[in-house]
Amino acid sequence: MTRVLISLGSNIRPRQHLQQAVERLRERSRVLAVSPVYETRPIGPDGKPTPDQPRFFNAAALIETDLDAATLKNCVLRPIEEELGRERRPNKYAPRTIDLDITLFGDQVLDLDSRHIPDPDLLQYAHIARPLADLEPDFRHPEDGRTLAEIADALPQTGVAPRPDVSL
């Protein structure tokens, strides 16, 4: 069994879509824990805030699976996104009902389609690192070597606000 950290994000009816995504993950995998929810500013391709779309709610889930990364992505995560109305557009920074990404797949380093795992965004954005650190603070990044807590603490927290009123 592999422990997998999945990043979740939504900025179209985010409370509803995050809750539904976690429910579906629980139906299709062994969910060990879900992080608190954070409200974050949308970010554009230049890494700067994009004020012309709604704010995101972000969280993370820790699951355990016997699936390989490709099967998890294509047979579990993508179908959940599709069920919740995710539309893939040329602009990957467009608003979305739900985004489910494998951020860490145990301590493995993989290239899956056009994505690298561990997700490089983990080292750049607090809205990804903070929820993961809430779940597995002492887990060491397989390429960087720092713990998730060290990575999250080193990133600017500007625009990342806890949402204790939203529980998953």
Q: What is the dihedral of CA 95, 98, 99, 104, to 10 degrees?
A: 150
CA distances from 139 to 23, 79, 97, 115 (A): 25, 28, 29, 21
Is position 101 annotated as part of the catalytic site?
A: yes
Is position 41 annotated as part of the catalytic site?
A: no
Is position 99 annotated as part of the catalytic site?
A: yes
Q: Which of 30, 46, 68, 99 is the catalytic position?
A: 99
Q: Which of 24, 101, 119, 134 is the catalytic position?
A: 101
Q: Which of 24, 41, 96, 121 is the catalytic position?
A: 96
Dist. CA 45–CA 32, nearest whole Å: 33
Q: Which residues of 116-130 are buried (b: 16+ CB within 10 A; e: fewer)?
A: ebbbebbbebbbbbb
Is position 96 annotated as part of the catalytic site?
A: yes
Q: Which of 3, 68, 86, 153 is the catalytic position?
A: 86
**Cα atoms in the Cβ-side hemisphere of radius 13 Å centred on 80:** 24
CA distances from 59 to 33, 46, 139 (A): 11, 22, 17
Active-site positions read 86, 96, 99, 101
